[in-house]
Amino acid sequence: FPGCRILCLSRDIPSKPGCLNGSAPKDATSFDVRGTPGVDVYIVHNPQVAKVPTCVPRWPLDVRVEVVVTMKTPSDAVNDNKVRISYYGKDGGPPMHRAMLYLTCVGNLSVLPLQREWTWGPDGQGAILLVNCDRDDPKSSDMDNKDFCVRSYADLRDMSCMILRTRGPDAIFDDHKLVLHISMSDADKVGVFHARGDDILHQYKHVLGSNELSYIVDRPSGQEEDTFYVEGLAFPDADFLGLVSFHVTLLDVPDENLPETPIFTDTVVFHMAPWIMTPNTQRPLEIFVCSVSDNADFVEAVSKLARKARCKLTVCPELENQNDRWIQDEMEFGYVQAPHKTFPVVFDSPRDGEMQDFPFKSILGPDFGYVTRQPYNESVSSLDSFGNLEVSPPVTVKGKEYPLGRILIGSSFPRIGGRRMTKAVRNFLCAQKVQAPVELYADWLCVGHVDEFLSFVPAPGRQGFRLLLASPSACYKLFREKQEEGYGEARLFEGRILETVTTTTIDEILANETLRRENDYVQSCIDWNRDILKQELGLSEKDIIDLPQLFRVINKKASAFFPDMVNMIVLGKHLGIPKPFGPTVDGRCCLEESVRSLLEPLGLTCTFINDFFAYHTLEGEVHCGTNVRRKPFSFKWWNMIP
């Protein structure tokens, strides 16, 4: 019975294996064995297992014969069960000698659930812990796991319950110490509270974690269960696989001159829930946008789109954003999940813009967690902004499933001197394990974010999405077609809104050899990424849509020439796309028409938003200026195999 342990307290015969011969008289050749009703006796005999029937055949006294004694229920009193071994000589006859084994059964001491190992996948098992990184008490100045008390039931509900079962006669626990303990390396990963008193929170005591490595459990007479609550302090990272073990040990306290002896130890393993990102294909719940001095129209346009998508809109006021409009870059929304609780967690980027206090001050709150990473001894670059941190929808790559998608980050092409996301953030993302990151090449861009050349939209079909890529080739093709149709004089940037901007005709664009060379270069950079994306996300050409787009290359770094349409906000079927102000053909912008013709057949609706002066000329677009909190996956992360 796996839930029970037997203590052999009697010293009549040695209590450990070898005991059969240990008490046998010299001439004995065989034995039989019987137990009191609470005891099951099995003979393991090379290698058949047979339960001993009431009227026993004798067994040879041979090292290959093992007697296994088990008990079904914990003892009521010390030594309340017995096993009698009778020894016989060669000639049979009555037993030459008898030995008694006195047994006391102690119920499994382990914490519930009873899981010593932690395994991934649908057949996996193991307990789960959340990093208690939200702030349930609005009056508190920091996250809930920064203190050593349970402040509220909301705080308690973010913790995992751990029950210590101590079934067995009281006398055993009078003689022995019961210790709950953790290893040094886990001490800064968890906090454990002992539920004491009549469920009165302020009596809950912090007993393990930080400097507390062991806790002697005082077991009141007859109390068979003791309740603890566990909170996580740290997310998986380069130096932390995410597994935390709790041990419970029954210690013998034999003698003043001798140390305490561990009788046995049981262990339970918890896995810290990883931080999980949500791709564009997840339903949007809340949209964030900054209100700054010059973007009222943009905020209004986003607000309208939010209403269409039936989505909550949260405007970060100028007081909090300090005129920093790049809310995509400041933070990334994700979530943590355990079977008993799920809550969103904002990952605050190491980018230090004027908005830097916003995530901690305004996002962190009741059931809204917070995490950040400080760079090691590295300088922070534009690639550390979270416009450079995206995640694909679920994919399958050569048979390997990524049911939560894969994280995409932009890096330098691996040569000296390029910009790359800080190791602190890359390590953190890798350590979460469930959305194995892919590094793309983004350093060719002036700003250097993956959202400048790719996006994902929901779409019917095999994969459930399309990858959108910015494409100079597609733009040249479109403009050539328009030229052939006789619209070579149509002008980019024409119209009242952009009065101050220099316009240029399709003919001029197609004749501009410098622009052509620059865009060939850009196309080759995007093509290089296209190869990696197809390979690492298991995509085929059918899964990719090329959106017409031109770039300029200045000081060897690229920026969008007209508003970068791929840098869009995706709210279910509603897309908010930077208005490109393309050449007008038949009264319509031919770039918008082209994008519509590519996306609307997929059931998507395109809303083109003017971000020209408020974002585009500042090197960003709609996606950079917004942020979206999305619904967690219905797929549970512990059911995957990373």
Is 474 a binding residue for a second copy by CB under 8 A? The answer is yes
What are the tokens at 556? Answer: 């060897």
Which of residues 476 and 493 has its CB atom nearest to a second copy in the complex?
476
Of the candidates 41, 85, 128, 182, which one interacts with a second copy according to CB under 8 A?
182
Q: How far is the CB of 34 from a second copy (least distance, A)?
A: 21
| Residue numbers annotated as active site | 329, 449, 451, 624
| Residue 465 touching a second copy (CB under 8 A) | no
The nearest distance, CB 199 to a second copy, in angstroms, is 30
414 touching a second copy, by CB under 8 A: yes
Q: What are phi and psi of 391, to 5 degrees?
A: -140, 140
- Kindly tell me which of 213 and 511 has the beta carbon lying closer to a second copy: 213
Q: What is the smallest separation between the CB atom of 632 and a second copy, expressed in angstroms?
A: 30
- Figure out which of the listed residues 114, 397, 497, 544 binds a second copy, where binding follows CB under 8 A: 544
Q: Considering only residues 40, 237, 252, 508, which one is a binding residue for a second copy as defined by CB under 8 A?
A: 252
Of 91, 484, 499, 586, the one binding a second copy (CB under 8 A) is 484
Smallest separation, CB 187 to a second copy (Å): 10
* CA 32 to chain CA mean position, Å: 56
Under the criterion CB under 8 A, does residue 179 sit at the interface with a second copy? Answer: yes
* Rounded least distance, CB 16 to a second copy, Å: 5
- Site size toward a second copy, by CB under 8 A: 67
Distance of CA 138 to the CA centre of its chain: 25
Residue 441 lies near a second copy (rule: CB under 8 A): yes
223 in contact with a second copy (CB under 8 A): no
CA 197 to chain centre: 34
Distance from the first to the final alpha carbon of the chain? 33
Place of tokens 């302090």: 233
Where helices occur in 290-402 by DSSP H, the ranges are: 296-308, 318-321, 327-330, 358
Work out whether 542 is an interface residue with a second copy (CB under 8 A).
yes
Residue 313 contacts residue 323 (beta carbons within 8 Å): no
- The CB-of-102 to a second copy minimum distance in angstroms stands at 16
Distance CA 100, CA 13 (A): 7
Could you tell me which stretch among 48-56, 157-165, 244-252, 349-357 binds a second copy (CB under 8 A)? 244-252
Which residue, 4, 267, 242, is CA-closest to 112?
A: 267
Amino acid sitting at position 456: F
**Based on C-alpha coordinates, what's the Rg of the chain?**
34
Interface stretch with a second copy, choices 34-42, 135-143, 258-266, 577-585 (CB under 8 A):
258-266
What is the per-residue burial (b if ≥16 Cβ within 10 Å, else e) of 7-16? bbebeebebe
The answer to whether the beta carbons of residues 191 and 229 sit under 8 Å apart is no
CB of 383 to a second copy, least distance (A): 14
Asked if 60 is part of the footprint of a second copy (rule: CB under 8 A), the reply reads no
Asked whether the bond before 366 is cis by omega within 30 degrees of 0, the reply is no
CB 219 within 8 A of CB 256: no
Q: Name which position in 262, 317, 495, 603 contacts a second copy (CB under 8 A).
A: 262
Among positions 360-399, residues that touch a second copy (CB under 8 A) are: none
DSSP 140-195: -SS-GGGSSS---HHHHHTSEEEEEE--S-HHHHHHEEEEEE--GGGTTTEEEEE-
Going by the DSSP 8-state scheme, the letter that residue 89 receives in this structure is E
Could you tell me the sign of the dihedral formed by the alpha carbons of 35, 39, 43, 48, in that order? positive
Closer of 200 and 416 to a second copy (Cβ): 416
Q: Which residues of the shown chain bind a second copy in the complex (CB under 8 A)?
A: 11, 14, 16-18, 21-22, 26, 63-64, 66, 179, 181-183, 185, 213-214, 238-239, 247, 249, 252, 254-255, 257-259, 261-265, 413-416, 423, 441, 444, 471, 473-474, 476-477, 481, 484, 514, 517-518, 520-521, 523-525, 527-528, 530-531, 540-542, 544, 546, 553, 556-557
